[in-house]
Amino acid sequence: MKKSTLLIGSVMVIVVILVLGKFYISEQDFNLDNPYWNGIMHISGDIRPLYNASDLPATVGDDTLLVIGPTRDYTPEEVSAISSFVRDGGTLVVMDDYGNSSSLLGAMGLPIALRQVPLCQDKDYYKRPSFPIIADIAPSGITRNITSLTFNHPVPLTVSGNATVIASASAMGWLDLNDDCIINRDEPVGDFPVMASVRYGYGEVYVIGDPDLLINSMQDLGDNRILIANIIKANAVYFDAAHGQAVTPLGRVVYVVRSSLPAQFLCALGVFLLVLLFYRYRGMFKL
């Protein structure tokens, strides 16, 4: 083979890899196709991207909808679809700090709300007080076998009515009003809740004041990976990809092929035809 042909072929392969990477790998926070520190590609389990709330199943089994750090508000139609999903027996897990999940929680009339202020904790933390290690954890469907969780810049929750606090900061927690990681005289101190749940019809809602528990760089800290496993254990886990964390175009194709038997058949047929064409016309490629 000529050196020039080899060089051209190598360049073409590199270009194809770069193009495919552009359409598959994302750098967006909390994205299923992001392999970097701020993505959640390393989560193990069958997670189904959801682009329209109306596509949630009408007949709910042990299914979960995962809402992670949304960046835009929920419409009344979306709230209605999600409410029906939970009311009929589904589980809603909302993990957020300064995102737009409040538009969903408020419209559903839930007695749990996010407080838009940083929460720090003295004494027991990872790296700095804004990474509190939370050990005050009560039993629940998603905290099974968990001793402690390592948070990353969480916000506290307001919990009222029939909602239950599942996890709280220690008595050394404080609201860092000026976001300087130092306790100031006018900053409230206490065991502020960071995780809570409430029954909603036949289903249940969990709210956690930190979406970073799921990111790749945090999964191996504390019992964070156990929390992930407890959430993903559901029969089907739908990931809200319509409010800021859309899956990349090629990632969407990969998901369809991975989860659809007809798509797998068509993909295998396409590969077979390409191989057949190559052997049929291989003489054209000889130099």
**Average per-residue pLDDT in the chain?**
84
As a whole number, mean pLDDT of residues 121-125 equals 94
Kindly give, in sequence order, each residue whose CB lies less than 8 Å from that of residue 183, ignoring residues fewer than 6 positions away.
Answer: 120, 122, 174, 189
Distance CA 192, CA 177 (A): 14
Token duo for residue 139: 């039993």
User: Are the CB atoms for 259 and 48 separated by under 8 Å?
Assistant: yes
pLDDT at residue 137 tops 80: yes
**pLDDT above 90 (res 230):** yes
Radius of gyration of the chain (CA): 23
Q: Is the pTM value of this prediction over 0.75?
A: yes
**243 vs 175, higher pLDDT:** 175
pLDDT at 4: 54
Helix axes 249-259, 261-280, angle to 10 degrees: 100
Q: pLDDT at position 245, please? A: 64
pLDDT of residue 177: 94
pLDDT band at 25 (very low <50, low <70, confident <90, very high): low
Q: How confident is the model at residue 108 (pLDDT cuts 50, 70, 90)?
A: very high
C-alpha closest to that of 163 among 132, 207, 128, 122: 207
pLDDT number for residue 22: 47
- Going through 51-114 in order, the beta strands assigned E by DSSP cover 63-68, 91-95, 112-114
Specify whether the CB–CB gap between 69 and 91 falls below 8 A.
no
The HSE-up count of residue 244 (CA atoms within 13 Å, CB side) is 16
Q: How confident is the model at residue 45 (pLDDT cuts 50, 70, 90)?
A: confident
Residues 6+ apart with CB under 8 A from 46: 232, 236, 237, 259
Cβ-Cβ contacts under 8 Å for 224 (sequence gap 6 or more): 149, 150, 213, 214, 218
Higher pLDDT among residues 138 and 49, named by residue: 138
Q: Which pLDDT score is estimated for 19?
A: 47
The pLDDT of residue 242: 87
- The pLDDT score that the predictor gives to residue 15 is 44
User: pLDDT: is 205 or 235 the higher one?
Assistant: 205
Q: Does domain 47-247 have CATH number 1.10.10?
A: no
**pLDDT band at 252, cuts 50/70/90?**
low
Q: What percent of the chain has pLDDT over 70?
A: 76
Annotated domain spans of the chain: 3-24+251-277, 47-247
Q: What would the DSSP string read from start to end of 5-65?
A: HHHHHHHHHHHHHHHHHHHH---STT-TT--STT--TT--S-EEEES-GGGS-SS-SSEEE
